[in-house]
């Protein structure tokens, strides 16, 4: 069950970076990857059970469509399309572009900036990633957090 002390009756809203979806399919078995896999599976169960709201974007769909592994791509696409609560599309490009420009000025790559900006426009509580560079990025507009940290913070059983 989600930590209700933090959110009360309103479920937390998250944006999972593309690398979070990919992590579930990772063949490497280092300790941190195994922990990430366990966390993303547990978080996705909470999304399915509507205890966490999922935000997605056109950039997430685009990046997933570039996945050469058709099985993984279709699996992730099914989840993204069927369990999203809010979608940030190209109709928000003007608002997104302003935020993206500010984010890229701080050394973040363009695609990553679109993900973060989309999460901010979707009014997410958390932007979730396993990208070490993004985990170091700090903004007052959204908390950037790893899969494992989010699972701990929300008290999701992994």
List, for residues 5-46, the tens digit of each pLDDT value.
Answer: 555 678 999 999 999 999 999 888 899 999 999 999 999 999
- Whether 2 shows a pLDDT value over 60: the answer reads no
List, for residues 100-152, the tens digit of each pLDDT value.
Answer: 999 999 999 999 999 999 999 999 999 999 999 999 999 999 999 999 999 99
Q: Which of 12, 13, 9, 4 is nearest to 118 (CA)?
A: 13
List, for residues 40-89, the tens digit of each pLDDT value.
Answer: 999 999 999 999 999 999 999 999 999 999 999 999 999 999 999 999 99
**Strand residue runs (E) in 5-146:** 13-16, 53-57, 84-88, 126-128, 143-145
Q: Are the CB atoms for 154 and 12 separated by under 8 Å?
A: yes
- Give the predicted TM-score (pTM) of the model: 0.93
Residue 126 pairs with which residues in a beta bridge? Answer: 14, 143
Q: Does 55 or 155 have the greater pLDDT score?
A: 55
- Three-state DSSP state, 117: helix
In the chain the domains, ranked by start, together with CATH numbers, are 4-154 (3.40.50.1010)
CA distance 22 to 155: 23
Question: Which two tokens mark 7?
Answer: 């959110």
Please give the full DSSP string across 1-32, using - where no structure is assigned.
---HHHHTTSPPEEEE-HHHHHHTT-----HH
Q: Tell me, what's the pLDDT at 3?
A: 53
Q: Checking DSSP bridges between strand 13-16 and strand 126-128, what pairing results, if any? A: parallel
């Amino acid at each position: 069950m989600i930590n209700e002390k933090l959110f009360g009756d309103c479920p937390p809203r998250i944006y999972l970076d593309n690398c979070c979806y990919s992590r579930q399919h990772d063949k490497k078995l280092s300790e941190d990857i195994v922990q990430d896999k366990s966390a993303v599976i547990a978080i996705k169960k909470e999304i399915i059970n509507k205890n966490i709201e999922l935000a997605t974007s056109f950039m997430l769909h685009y990046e997933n469509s570039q996945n050469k592994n058709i099985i993984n791509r279709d699996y992730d696409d099914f989840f993204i399309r069927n369990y999203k609560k809010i979608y940030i599309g190209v109709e928000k490009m003007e608002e997104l572009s302003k935020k993206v420009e500010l984010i890229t000025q701080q050394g973040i790559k363009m695609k990553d900036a679109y993900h973060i900006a989309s999460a901010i426009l979707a009014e997410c509580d958390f932007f979730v990633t396993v990208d070490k560079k993004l985990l170091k990025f700090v903004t007052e507009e959204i908390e950037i957090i790893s899969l494992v940290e989010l699972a701990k913070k929300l008290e999701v059983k992994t």
